[in-house]
């Protein structure tokens, strides 16, 4: 078996929960969700290459916030592939992670890195793994991994494993803003007032995406704000910079603003960066 000899790079895009309803809780404690998820053209970058020994490099603006040992989801993804395909995946590899996404911030950085690693290594090792096989292997690494493997607009249900693609969803000019504070997801779920909310309305029940968004919520937003009040400041900054719509993603603290144009998003991201030098702020567009 020969490896691909050139390095292979994959974007690990930011995952954005445009709406997230907590609809219940399973007996094992996992929360049941309904969420409309999109992915940004902005994210981390995973590069894999054949090597004489296994190695792992991390750089980029948030490199200091992620583990470099076997606890990193990138290495857990590599090891899960090795365990599932021992005959094909024995050869050593070098993996580089360029970390551009703030960590523990509600935009799925770790899950997206792991999904990009699965995609890149299955190409490098030429694994006989189709998308369904990768998704099965991914779920034990994290409930958000199957959606990050898909990488396109989708509705996720259950604990995040039941996925329905959303076709013809528009590209949304967007600004992502994080106040520079990590928020632990389990803490937000513990602060959640109600775990039994109405499901999402059907997407075709409104004329425009913005009209539909107005019918929906992020049920974790209040809970996250009670832990980290600066989330309210982030939302206010997005709205006063011209966002047509602003909401928190996932369990926070990153919030997204939707803008009328890419130029308006770029201007708003720059204005927010100038006004709040300690915040992370970037303009992007969602993938279709």
Please tell me the distance from the alpha carbon of residue 163 to that of residue 143, in angstroms, as a whole number. Answer: 11
Inter-CA distances, 71 with 62, 76, 79, 88, 275, Å: 16, 7, 11, 23, 36
The DSSP secondary-structure symbol of 242 reads T
Encoded tokens for 225: 């704000």
Say if residues 124 and 49 touch (Cβ distance below 8 Å): yes
Encoded tokens for 66: 């992620």
Binding of ligand ATP by 113 (CB under 6 A)? yes
Q: Which is nearer to ligand ATP, 34 or 113 (CB)?
A: 113
The one catalytic residue in 44, 113, 144, 219 is 144
Exactly one of 23, 96, 111, 216 binds ligand ATP (CB under 6 A); that residue is 111
State in angstroms the smallest separation of the CB of 159 from ligand ATP. 12
The annotation status of 199 as a binding-site residue, yes or no, is no
The DSSP secondary-structure symbol of 140 reads G
Exactly one of 105, 241, 281, 284 binds ligand ATP (CB under 6 A); that residue is 105
Residues 6+ apart with CB under 8 A from 75: 56, 69, 95
State in angstroms the smallest separation of the CB of 287 from ligand ATP. 17
Please tell me the distance from the alpha carbon of residue 61 to that of residue 75, in angstroms, as a whole number. Answer: 20
Per-residue binder mask for ligand ATP (CB under 6 A), 172-211, x = binder: -------------x--------------------------
The one catalytic residue in 15, 44, 99, 113 is 15
Exposed e or buried b per residue across 109-142, where buried means at least 16 C-beta atoms within 10 angstroms of its C-beta: bbbbbbbbbbbbbbebbebebeeeebbebbeebb
Stretch that binds ligand ATP, among 66-74, 119-127, 170-178, 267-275 (CB under 6 A): 66-74
99 has catalytic annotation:
no
Q: Which is nearer to ligand ATP, 144 or 228 (CB)?
A: 144
Binding of ligand ATP by 104 (CB under 6 A)? yes
144 has catalytic annotation:
yes
Q: Which is nearer to ligand ATP, 66 or 200 (CB)?
A: 66
* Rounded to 5°, angle at Cα 155 from 153 and 160: 115
Binding of ligand ATP by 246 (CB under 6 A)? no
Q: Which is nearer to ligand ATP, 181 or 262 (CB)?
A: 181
Q: Which is nearer to ligand ATP, 105 or 218 (CB)?
A: 105
Pairing of strands 31-50, 93-98: antiparallel
Q: Which amino acids are annotated as binding site, given as ranges?
A: 102-112
Q: Which amino acids are annotated as binding site for ATP, given as ranges?
A: 102-112
Residues known to be catalytic: 15, 144
Residues that bind ligand ATP (CB under 6 A): 66-67, 71-74, 103-111, 113, 144, 185, 250-251
């Amino acid at each position: 078996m020969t490896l691909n000899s050139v390095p292979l790079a994959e974007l690990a895009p930011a995952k954005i929960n445009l709406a997230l309803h907590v609809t219940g809780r399973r007996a094992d404690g996992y929360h049941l969700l309904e969420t409309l998820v999109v992915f940004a053209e902005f994210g981390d970058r995973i590069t894999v290459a054949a090597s004489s020994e296994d190695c792992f490099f991390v750089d980029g603006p948030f490199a200091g916030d992620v583990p470099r040992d076997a606890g990193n989801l990138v290495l857990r993804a590599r090891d899960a592939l090795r365990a599932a395909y021992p005959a094909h995946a024995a050869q050593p590899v070098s993996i580089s992670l360029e970390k551009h996404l703030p960590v523990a911030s509600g935009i799925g950085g770790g899950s997206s890195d792991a999904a990009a690693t699965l995609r890149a290594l299955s190409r490098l090792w030429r694994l006989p793994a189709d998308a369904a096989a990768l998704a099965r292997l991914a779920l034990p690494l994290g409930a958000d991994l199957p959606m990050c493997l898909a990488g396109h607009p989708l509705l996720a249900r259950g604990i995040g494993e039941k996925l329905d693609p959303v076709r013809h969803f528009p590209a949304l000019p967007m600004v992502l803003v994080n106040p520079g504070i990590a928020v632990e997801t389990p803490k937000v779920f513990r602060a959640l007032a109600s775990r039994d909310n109405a499901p999402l309305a059907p997407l075709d029940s409104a004329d425009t995406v913005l009209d539909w968004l107005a019918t929906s919520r992020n049920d974790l937003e209040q809970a996250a704000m009670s832990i980290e009040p600066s989330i309210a400041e982030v939302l206010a900054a997005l709205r006063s910079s011209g966002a047509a719509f602003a909401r928190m993603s996932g369990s926070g603290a990153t919030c997204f603003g939707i803008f009328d144009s890419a130029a308006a998003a770029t201007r708003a991201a720059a204005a927010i960066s100038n006004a709040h030098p300690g915040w992370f702020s970037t303009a992007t567009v969602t993938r279709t």
